[in-house]
Every structure is written in C-alpha cells, then in structure tokens.
C-alpha cells in the first residue's frame, strides 16, 4: 500500500478533485472536513469515480484537542495536503478575525503534530493573492510579495512564512507551497464539482448558476480597469490540472532529492482572460446567453494576474493540459447535473 495522506478540506472543490487524483495514483487518503463550505454528498461522488471510499473525519481544525485526538487515531499519516481554509476575499475584508483564526491557527496545529512524524511532508494550498498587484506580468515565483490586498491574501502570506520558518528550524521537514491562480471546472464525470454554499464568491459558479436560472443576472465588478475591455484579467486553470499538480508535488516530496526543504511553485495556465472573455467563452460552449450587469469595483480585487509557469513546467514536469473552453464546458455539465 502506498503512503497514507491526510487531505484537509478534502470535500471542498479543489480538495475533492485532488483526493480523486491521489486515489487513482494509489495513495491511501484520510479526509478531514468541517462541512462548513462543502457537503457529505461529495464523498459519494469521490467513491463513484474511484470505486474507493476514503476515510473521513468530520472535524473543525480550530479545535486543538480534536486535532491531537486525530493524530493519536492516525499515527501513520505520511504527509498532509492542507486545503482547509476560509477563502472569500470580500468576506475576509468584512470579517478579518474569522480568517486569521481559521486559516492560521489550523495550520499551526497541523504543523505541530506533523513535526512529530518521521520524515514530515507538507503541501500548502497557497494563492496568487500573495503577489498583490504584480509589477510585471506574467508573474514568476521571484516576484515580490507585496502588502496583501485583503485579510485572506494576508493569511496565505503569513501561512507561507510559518511553513518556511518551520522548515528552517527543522531540516527533516519537507514542504511545498503551491500558489494557484483561478481554479475552475469539474471532474469530467460530473460526479464532483464546485459546490459553493450560499452566494458564489467566484466567477464561474456564478456564471453557471445564472445560466441555469438560479441567479437573475451576473454582476461584473468594474469595467473601468486598465485592461483591453476594462474588466479584470485572471489565469483560469482547470481543477483537474490543479489536482494533478498536487500529486506530482507530493511525489517530489517522497523522492530523494537535493536542494532546499521548502519550495514554492505557481500553478496556472500562463494565459490571462478577462471577465468578459470568460463570459463569451461560456456562451460559446453552452449555447446560453448570459444576462449580466456592470457593478462597482469590488474591494480587494487586483487588475490583472496570470502565471509564469516555467518553474513548475521544468522542475515538477507538470503543465496545464485543459483549455478555458474545456474547463467551462465541464463546469456547465456539473451545474446541469446538480440543477438549480
């Protein structure tokens, strides 16, 4: 049996797709999720795809005692992929203390326990928000980390610093931070996908919910940005590509290698698309006309962000395979399956 991996937030959007990719690669998976922004139904979707049900613990990682009990129950965890976090930029501006508690305390508790394991390995779900509005595009891993535009972005910056300091103090630690750009899409089977609780905070689920009639119209936040069509530009990456990158990164941590015990990689397609371009691409693949209105700019949004993926391409041997249209098509099939 291959290594046993803890995936926190494993019933969430990126987490669930990564669990599938791990199980298909032969890893044994244990999921922790507090179900605050996910559903137990996702476990059934994972089982349908992989024909294997991962072990699941319903647990709030903010509860230090419960975290300790988990590691007593599972002393043979060989590595952690840490997704569990609050992740909405706008909400973090309104409720910063929730974000600092949920995104930092939980990370610290996990690292404290992982430190006691033999050959501790850790993958951190980071974000391109750590760059703020970058001076140069595309963004490389050596771009300066600017003052965060939001408490959410700040928790990712601080999280990376905590892991880096831990690796410096404990040379046996092996960790990778993966800075994703904008994950979209769903598994081709449509058994799992993006399932936001309440009003979506991300563009694509808002698009699909509008197209199916769940939302009256789509709000485009600002059309006066210094971009070709005035709307924000982002690097939209298929969640299946992202999931595969976690498997590759994990295998890197298990391999014998020279070099630093803490590394950072950008995960994106290397191409930026504006909000209006995404809307047009969706209309093309779905055949649906999307009603939308231009709204005021949203606090915390940067103008443009897309990745230079050279480092991940060369050192991980990974690159994004799916197009924007393929990702949007999979998101639409998922929305049609779950309905309104």
* Cα(320)–Cα(236) distance, integer angstroms: 10
Asked whether residue 306 is assigned to any structural domain, the reply reads: no
The per-residue pLDDT for range 220-243, each reduced to its tens digit, is 999 999 999 999 999 999 999 999
Confidence at residue 90, expressed as pLDDT on a 0 to 100 scale: 82
CB 239 within 8 A of CB 17: yes
Asked whether residue 180 is assigned to any structural domain, the reply reads: yes
Asked whether residue 167 is assigned to any structural domain, the reply reads: yes
CATH code of the domain covering residue 157:
3.40.50.720
Number of residues that this document lists for the chain: 340
The model carries a pTM of 0.97
**Largest Cα–Cα distance of the chain, in whole Å?**
55
For residue 20, the SS3 value is: helix
Asked whether residue 115 is assigned to any structural domain, the reply reads: yes
The per-residue pLDDT for range 285-323, each reduced to its tens digit, is 999 999 999 999 987 788 999 999 999 999 999 999 999
b (16+ CB within 10 A) / e for 171-195: eebbbbbbbbbbbbbbbeebbbbbb
How many domains in the chain?
Answer: 1
**If we measure between CA atoms, which residue out of 2, 18, 198, 67 comes closest to residue 10?**
18
Asked whether residue 218 is assigned to any structural domain, the reply reads: no
Confidence at residue 267, expressed as pLDDT on a 0 to 100 scale: 98
Asked whether residue 335 is assigned to any structural domain, the reply reads: no
* Cα(48)–Cα(51) distance, integer angstroms: 5
Confidence at residue 1, expressed as pLDDT on a 0 to 100 scale: 54
Residue 49's domain comprises 4-184+236-268
Q: Where are the beta strands (DSSP E) in 97-199?
A: 121-127, 174-180, 182-184
pLDDT at 330 over 70: yes
Active centre residues (catalytic): 152
* Cα(214)–Cα(200) distance, integer angstroms: 11
Asked whether residue 194 is assigned to any structural domain, the reply reads: no
Q: Which two tokens stand for residue 30?
A: 């244990």
Rounded mean pLDDT, 240-254: 97
| Of 160-169, 190-199, 309-318, minimum mean pLDDT range | 190-199
Asked whether residue 241 is assigned to any structural domain, the reply reads: yes
């Amino acid at each position: 049996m291959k290594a046993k991996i803890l995936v926190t937030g494993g019933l969430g959007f990126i987490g669930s797709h990564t669990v599938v990719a791990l199980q298909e690669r032969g890893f044994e998976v244990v999921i922790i999720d507090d179900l605050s922004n996910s559903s137990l139904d996702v476990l059934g979707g994972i089982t349908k795809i992989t024909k294997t049900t991962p072990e699941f613990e319903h647990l709030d990682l903010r509860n230090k005692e419960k975290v300790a009990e988990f590691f007593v129950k599972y002393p043979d965890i060989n590595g952690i992929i840490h997704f569990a976090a609050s992740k909405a930029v706008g909400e973090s501006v309104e409720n910063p203390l929730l974000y600092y508690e949920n995104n930092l305390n939980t990370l610290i508790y996990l690292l404290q326990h992982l430190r006691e394991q033999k050959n501790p390995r850790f993958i951190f779900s980071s974000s391109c928000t750590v760059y703020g509005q970058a001076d140069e595009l595309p963004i490389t891993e050596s771009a300066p980390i600017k003052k965060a535009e939001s408490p959410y972005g700040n928790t990712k910056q601080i999280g990376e610093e905590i892991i880096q300091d831990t690796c410096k103090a404990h040379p046996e630690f092996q960790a990778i931070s993966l800075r994703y750009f904008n994950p979209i899409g769903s598994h081709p089977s449509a058994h799992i996908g993006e399932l936001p609780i309440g009003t979506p905070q991300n563009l694509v689920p808002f698009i699909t919910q509008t197209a199916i009639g769940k939302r009256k119209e789509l709000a485009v936040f600002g059309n006066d940005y210094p971009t070709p069509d005035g709307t924000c530009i982002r690097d939209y990456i298929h969640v299946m590509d992202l999931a595969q990158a976690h498997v590759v990164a994990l295998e890197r941590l298990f391999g014998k290698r020279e070099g630093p015990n803490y590394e950072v990689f950008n995960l994106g397609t290397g191409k930026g698309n504006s909000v209006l371009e995404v809307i047009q691409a969706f209309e093309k693949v779905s055949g649906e006309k999307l009603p939308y209105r231009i709204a005021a700019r949203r606090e915390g949004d940067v103008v443009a962000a897309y990745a230079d993926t050279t480092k991940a391409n060369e050192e991980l041997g990974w690159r994004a395979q799916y197009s924007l249209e393929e990702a949007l098509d999979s998101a639409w099939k998922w929305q049609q399956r779950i309905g309104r």
